[in-house]
Structure 1
Amino acid sequence: MLNQRLTAILQLVNTKHQIAVTELAAVLNVSVVTIRKDLTTLEQQGLLRRQHGWAVQDAPDDLNARLAINYAIKVKIAMVTADRVADGATIMLDSGSTCVLLADQLGEQQKNVTIVTNSYYIAHRVGDYPTLTVEVLGGQYQPVAQVGVGPLTLHMLTAFHVHQLFVGTDGFDPQSGFSGRNLARNQVIQAMARQADTVTLLTDSSKFQGPSLIQQFPLDQVDAVVTDQDLPSAIATMLRGALDLQLV
């Protein structure tokens, strides 16, 4: 996990989209040399870019940029969710940023798990963990999100059946449920759900501020939600009446 200063840098970069090294040093009361070392650490993890004296957020749909937003919270969600996955299990993961961190946790905990995913990012990121086996779905490649989508992906999914699917989301509405912002990726997520016994949604509480563009799942199609303690109490009460809610 990132230390407090690295987390603060990420929050500042994500808020401002770009920020000067000198401003970071002043705000955090450390030297420019220290900030440069911190930025190198964050850049090596793919959480931001360095550019001529600036720290810069990646494009909004870039998975590294999405990982950086509320990173510490997402790591906590991933750590707790890893306990839901039994050794020897076969699971499905979509391309959500918290799903990426869940794959990390499963590898770090040395669980023998097979992961079925359309995320080439996940496949590349966890490929060196000896206890993880990754089955990658083919399809039309979306280079920014690093995922496969389209008819071939949907067809390949029919060859698999798993007990657990873990997915992310982009928005929420009490009436319509969970929603996403990309039609092709949403279609794959919905097809994944048809091949899984249970659907567990992993997201930080910021996604409960309003709906996104395209409906993903109504509440009755989601079995569990793992999110953080900042979830509004009214939404928490509603979710507890409909599914398994875990707050971290």
Structure 2
Amino acid sequence: MNGLPNGPASPPKTPDAMKHPCWLLLASLALSGCGSWRDAFLGRATPLAPLEEARLGQTAREEIVHRYGPPDEVNARNLDATTREVVFYFDPYPGADQRPQYRFLACEFSKGVLTGYSFVDTGQPPRAGFDEQALARLVRGQSTRRQVESALGRPEGKALLPTTITLPALNLQLGGAPFPLTRIPDGAWEVWQYHQQAYDVATRKASQQTLSLFFDDHGVLLGSSLLRELTTKPAP
């Protein structure tokens, strides 16, 4: 199972709602360590997390809103002569070293039913899902979803294809990507994504990796792609 050549990844965009002055208050609450107060203020007693219990093609929009409250931003995207609704949730919080971190959740719906989601937590520790030995146990054309989850853990994102929300953009000109970043294998029906962020204090460089795994409609692995991004942070 070979990935495609490395290419740039598109980080999630900050929703326009974050530009509103009230978000400055929410961010200050997070940075002061008042996480529970912030969540209560937002009506989000449940912290943002991957939708592990959600079922693509079955979970209703109302279930997501009931869990996390009203979304921070909502927009419509046209795809294959249909309209997809995409809702965004964004929560800033202080990291272990007090550097600002955030959790970001995007959910895509078709006629009020979940078709995909993508979750990013910049404060998560490195995960074992990018270990070469774990990846080596997966065989294209043979490994199942269950075997992938056993080897890599639960993904941060899932979507039925085609989709508008996977990060980085697949073969859609979305998320700031000016060209296709990943070739979707023929016959792919679903994509899973794993995200990993790291920060080197000495070099002030942040890195992000996104592993995409593609399955057919029987849940058999068709291929994968690992994309990397390295960004030099400005001096404080």
- Scaled by the length of structure 2, the TM-score of the pair is 0.27
Higher normalized strand content (fraction of residues): 2
Higher normalized helix content (fraction of residues): 1
- Scaled by the length of structure 1, the TM-score of the pair is 0.26
